[in-house]
C-alpha cells in the first residue's frame, strides 16, 4: 500500500478498506470490475493517477496527480433500490463536512457538486448495478492551477485556505463521515436532508437546466422530503430527481 495513504486506511471504520492503484482510467470502472467479481461492501479504490475520470453524463473530470483525490466506494445497500439515488446526497454532505473540518465553509449544488463560494471543489458520480452501487468522488485538495476551460469555476481546499493539506487526512475524514451518512438514506433520511438544505446553494435562485424536452428554467424553492429539487416553473411546482447542467441565472 502507498505509504502516504496507509495511515488513512487504518482510520477507516468497518467495513471500509483501501485499495490503491498507481494508475486507473476511471476508479468507477475499475471498482465495477471488482464488484462484479464479488468484492464485498466497503472497498474504497483510490487512483494516484486517474487518466479518464468522468462526471455525470460522461463529462470529463480533471484530476491532477499528487494534488487531488480520485476514488470510488463500493456499497451493497440493504435499502430498496428506489432509495439508492440518495447516496449522491449522502456523499455530498460527507465531502462537505470533511472539507469544512479543514476550514472553508461549503455549499452543495444539488445533487452532486460541492462548492466553496461559487466555485466547484468536488464532484460525485453514483452508478448502480443489480446488487451494488459505486460512489465516485473527485476532490481538488492541493491543486493551484486548472485547465483554462474550468479555471473560472474550479477551486481547491488549498486555494481557499492558503495552505497545503495531507490528502490522507482528507480522505479519512470523508470516509468517516460517509460511514455515518450512507446509513441514513432510509430511516434517518430527514436528518440527512436537514444537513443538505442548510448548504443548498440553489434555494431561492432562478436556474436553468437541461431536460429531455430541451432547456428549461424556474425558481428553486428547496428540497422535497424525498430529496427531489423543488422547482417553480410556469407549469407550477415540479419535483426533479435529476437534471442536467443546472446553472444559477440570478
Cβ contacts of residue 92 below 8 Å, gap of 6+? 108, 111, 112, 113, 114, 124, 196
Residue 119 cell numbers, joined: 466555485
Mean pLDDT of 232-236: 89
pTM of the complete model = 0.93
- Can you give the three-state secondary structure of 89-123, one letter per residue? HHHHHHHHHHHHCCCCCCEEECCCEEEECCEEEEE
Under 8 Å between Cβ of 177 and 94: yes
Domains along the chain? 3-199 (3.30.930.10), 206-248 (2.30.30.100)
pLDDT at residue 2 tops 60: no
Helix (H, G, I), strand (E, B) or coil at 142: coil
Residue 36 cell numbers, joined: 462484479
pLDDT digits (tens, 9 = 90+) for 60-75: 677 788 899 999 999 9
Residue 97 cell numbers, joined: 463536512
Tell me if the bond preceding 169 is cis, omega within 30° of 0.
Answer: no
pLDDT digits (tens, 9 = 90+) for 10-32: 789 999 999 999 999 999 999 99
Amino acid at each position: 500500500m502507498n505509504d502516504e495513504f496507509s495511515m488513512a486506511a487504518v482510520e477507516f471504520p468497518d467495513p471500509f478498506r483501501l485499495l490503491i492503484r498507481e494508475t486507473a482510467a476511471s476508479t468507477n470502472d475499475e471498482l465495477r470490475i471488482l464488484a462484479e467479481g464479488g468484492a464485498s461492501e466497503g472497498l474504497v479504490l483510490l487512483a494516484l493517477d486517474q487518466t479518464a475520470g468522468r462526471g455525470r453524463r460522461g463529462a470529463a473530470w480533471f484530476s491532477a496527480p499528487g494534488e487531488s483525490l480520485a476514488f470510488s466506494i463500493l456499497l451493497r445497500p440493504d435499502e430498496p433500490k428506489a432509495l439508492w439515488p440518495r447516496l449522491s446526497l449522502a456523499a455530498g454532505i460527507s465531502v462537505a463536512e470533511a472539507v469544512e473540518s479543514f476550514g472553508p465553509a461549503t455549499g452543495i449544488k444539488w445533487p452532486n457538486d460541492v462548492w466553496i463560494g461559487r466555485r466547484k471543489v468536488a464532484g460525485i458520480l453514483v452508478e448502480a448495478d443489480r446488487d451494488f452501487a459505486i460512489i465516485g468522488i473527485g476532490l481538488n485538495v492541493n491543486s493551484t492551477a486548472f485547465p483554462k476551460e474550468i479555471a473560472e469555476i474550479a477551486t481547491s481546499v488549498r486555494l481557499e485556505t492558503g495552505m497545503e493539506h495531507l490528502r490522507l487526512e482528507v480522505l479519512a475524514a470523508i470516509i468517516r463521515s460517509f460511514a455515518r451518512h450512507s446509513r441514513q438514506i432510509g430511516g434517518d433520511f430527514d436528518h440527512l436532508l436537514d444537513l443538505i438544505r442548510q448548504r443548498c446553494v440553489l434555494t431561492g435562485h432562478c436556474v436553468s437546466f437541461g431536460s429531455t424536452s430541451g432547456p428549461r428554467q424556474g425558481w428553486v424553492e428547496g428540497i422535497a422530503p424525498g430529496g427531489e429539487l423543488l422547482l417553480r416553473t410556469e407549469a407550477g411546482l415540479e419535483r426533479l430527481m435529476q437534471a442536467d447542467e443546472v446553472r444559477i441565472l440570478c
